[in-house]
Homo-oligomer: A and B are copies of this chain.
């Protein structure tokens, strides 16, 4: 099937503003891996200023602290996820996964006419 449709979903969460989406989710994962916001940003080719901004915006929009400074270590000034950030990120990813599964089902249902034609 050359032309079978597949869905790509993006989930953004708003409070009084857009505050959580694929970008900050990816960034938090990388902070967890690199123990530093700067290294996390670098690893995804995001400007540090942007990484800082989307983190601040998410924290303010959610009213939740996402990053905690860890002092010491090489270069000092590292960062770690707070427990709230882990909880939030896990919930976000469960939603993304479930929506993705449902999206694939829906496409198969609603676009049966199309996929059949291109089979």
The B-contacting residues of A in range 9-35, CB under 8 angstroms, are 9-16, 18
**Contact status B6-A14, CB under 8 Å:** yes
Among candidates B7, B12, B62, B64, residue contacting A13 with C-beta atoms closer than 8 Å: B7
The B-contacting residues of A in range 79-95, CB under 8 angstroms, are 87-88, 91-92, 94-95
Q: Which of A41-49, A67-75, A109-117 contacts B (4 or more CB under 8 A)?
A: A109-117
The copy count of this chain in the complex is 2
CA gap between A23 and B88 in the complex, in Å: 30
Q: Which residues of A contact B (CB under 8 A)?
A: 2-16, 18, 61-64, 87-88, 91-92, 94-95, 98-99, 102-103, 106-107, 110-111, 113-114, 118
